[in-house]
Amino acid sequence: EGALFGLFKADETELTEENAILTAESGEDGVFIFENVPYGKWLVKELKSAEGFLPNDETYPAVVDENAEVIEIEAVNDRIPEIGTQASVEGKKEISATEVFTLEDTVSYMHLIPGKEYVLKGVLMDKATGEPMLIDGEEIRSEAAFIPEEPSGEIVVPFTFDSKFIKEETDIVVFENLYCDGKELAVHADIEDENQTVKVKVPEIGTKAYVNGGKEAAAKGEITIEDTVSYQNLTPGKEYVIRGILMNKATGNPFTVDEQEVTAKTIFTPETAEGETTVSFTFHADGITEKTDIVVFEGIYREGTEIAVHADINDDGQTVKIIPPVPNIPQTGDNSNLGFWLGLGAIALGGVISTAVILIKKKKDDENE
């Protein structure tokens, strides 16, 4: 119902509604009728398809050569195909930005013609911007050609991308277009559709540093800084590397011992997306001659790519203090050795008095002579 057809002279080249001799619209039963058509050669063409159907571009010739002749024409319209999508990664709707993933978009379709070739073309979209998502500057596109055996069914369109380049939480939405013979037949592109969406969460780390079990240590002998690294949004069962370096807070440069930077790393495989691991830094502190605030910087890597970093020079949680020993040198106003100095002074004073007594006695002896 609702398809519009036009009747045209056989030599008409502009088959439009304006140039039609007669027009007729199909009724509920899909039938359209032209009546009182004069003798001659004619063309019949669909001018507008019924709602929910694809246009029919065929032209149907007809010849009327006797009175009250009935000519039957059958014009076939295909239903407009419909598609829907269900996107996931390994069956999950949330992933962490740590791997090369293959997002699978399961496309359901209806009203296709069995035996004809169709092509699905898709692109991954960034929900926040409404623009194609870029990975290392490139759009992520995919397509799949198929020949359905039934009018309805499903097909999977895969999209492979390296999520390690994603540096902020992102909702990925899959847009799909269906083509046949180069013509677009159906589109499913709803930026708000949760079925088309996969959420990517970005790994995060935090650190808490201690030296010899506390936040301060004397600069003496070998000392160890242990940095407890907490992590979130990792992929369980995958191997990660944490690399750390000690920084001098006063200079903002790497802390050095014998002109060598102090670094450390640990390799681990988390069982859960969230947890903790420890990185240890051991060095000799005898050469430290002034109080030093040491800050631990950490980065976490997956397959050689940095996926998260924690490097805040002002973070007290990442900071420990190394304090050099106080030199044992007496100073003015220092009463720690007061008894020693008083005793030494008394001995000296006694010597002076004894010398004076001897001199006085000797002088009296001289006078008596």
How large is the average pLDDT for residues 24-34? 93
What pLDDT score was predicted for residue 67? Answer: 86
How large is the average pLDDT for residues 7-17? 93
Residue 271: other Cβ atoms inside 10 A: 9
How large is the average pLDDT for residues 54-73? 90
Predicted confidence band of residue 332 (pLDDT cuts 50, 70, 90): low
Residue 16 has pLDDT above 90, yes or no: yes
What percent of the chain shows pLDDT beyond 90? 79
What pLDDT score was predicted for residue 319? Answer: 97
Beta-carbon contacts of 6 under 8 Å, excluding residues fewer than 6 positions away, are 15, 16, 17, 19, 20, 21, 22, 23, 44, 45, 47
What pLDDT score was predicted for residue 337? Answer: 53
Residue 333 has pLDDT above 70, yes or no: no
Q: Could you tell me which of 168, 163, 204 has the C-alpha nearest to residue 310?
A: 204
What pLDDT score was predicted for residue 130? Answer: 95
The DSSP bridge pattern shows strands 82-89 and 204-211 to be unpaired
Average of per-residue pLDDT values in the chain: 89
pLDDT tens-digit profile of 158-215?
A: 999 999 999 999 999 999 999 999 999 999 999 999 999 999 999 999 999 999 889 9
- Give 345 or 174, the one with higher predicted confidence: 174
How large is the average pLDDT for residues 273-295? 94
Backbone angles phi, psi at 133, to 5 degrees: -70, 140
Measured between alpha carbons, how far is 113 from 184 in angstroms, rounded to an integer?
Answer: 15
In what helix (H) or strand (E) does residue 367 lie, and over which residues does it extend?
helix 338-368
Predicted confidence band of residue 17 (pLDDT cuts 50, 70, 90): very high
Measured between alpha carbons, how far is 108 from 110 in angstroms, rounded to an integer?
Answer: 7
Measured between alpha carbons, how far is 225 from 319 in angstroms, rounded to an integer?
Answer: 10
Q: What is the dihedral of CA 229, 235, 238, 241, to 10 degrees?
A: -30
| Rg (alpha carbons) of the chain, rounded to whole number | 45
Beta-carbon contacts of 137 under 8 Å, excluding residues fewer than 6 positions away, are none
pLDDT tens-digit profile of 70-95?
A: 899 999 888 999 999 999 999 999 99
The DSSP bridge pattern shows strands 197-201 and 94-96 to be parallel
How large is the average pLDDT for residues 115-123? 97
Predicted confidence band of residue 352 (pLDDT cuts 50, 70, 90): very low
Cβ-count burial of 119 within 10 angstroms (0-12 exposed, 13-18 middle, 19+ buried)?
middle
Measured between alpha carbons, how far is 163 from 208 in angstroms, rounded to an integer?
Answer: 28
Measured between alpha carbons, how far is 288 from 219 in angstroms, rounded to an integer?
Answer: 6
What percent of the chain shows pLDDT beyond 70? 88
Using the structure block, give the residue that is written with the tokens 């009250």: 68
Predicted confidence band of residue 329 (pLDDT cuts 50, 70, 90): low
How large is the average pLDDT for residues 223-227? 95
Q: Could you tell me which of 31, 41, 30, 53 has the C-alpha nearest to residue 7?
A: 41
Predicted confidence band of residue 343 (pLDDT cuts 50, 70, 90): low
Under DSSP, the state recorded for 368 is H
Using the structure block, give the residue that is written with the tokens 């980065």: 299
Measured between alpha carbons, how far is 145 from 140 in angstroms, rounded to an integer?
Answer: 17
Q: Could you tell me which of 238, 369, 216 has the C-alpha nearest to residue 301?
A: 238
What pLDDT score was predicted for residue 344? Answer: 46
What pLDDT score was predicted for residue 186? Answer: 94
- Give 358 or 53, the one with higher predicted confidence: 53
Predicted confidence band of residue 331 (pLDDT cuts 50, 70, 90): low
What pLDDT score was predicted for residue 339? Answer: 53
